[in-house]
Amino acid sequence: MAEAEPAAGTSRTIRIPEEVARAIEERIRSSSFGSVDAFVAFVLARLLEQSPDEAFSEEDEKALKERLRSLGYID
């Protein structure tokens, strides 16, 4: 798997829960990703390549909202 790096000279800080960052660190130990940043950039880039119709089903969106609510991000 090719590692995706943020575009040279451009970046933005995004905050994620520590438990998510730790889970990503565990996952990337046996991969070619050198950092959590590289993994997150790769995953988000792939997600954005999908058409809006295939990105999330109604069921996926409901599950995501429930998870965000349980983490305290939305009411």
Structural domain count, the chain? 1
Residue 5 lies in a domain: no
Summarize pLDDT for 36-63 with one digit per residue, the tens: 999 999 998 888 887 766 667 788 888 8
Residue 64 lies in a domain: yes
Rg, the chain, Cα only: 14
Residue 12 lies in a domain: no
Residue 75 lies in a domain: no
Cα distances from 74 to residues 19, 59, 65, 68, 71, in angstroms, run: 18, 18, 8, 6, 8
Summarize pLDDT for 14-39 with one digit per residue, the tens: 899 999 999 999 989 989 999 999 99
Is residue 55 within 8 Å of 47, Cβ to Cβ?
A: yes
Is residue 40 within 8 Å of 32, Cβ to Cβ?
A: no
Domain housing 28: 18-70
Model-level pTM?
A: 0.57
Hey, what are 42's tokens?
């790769």
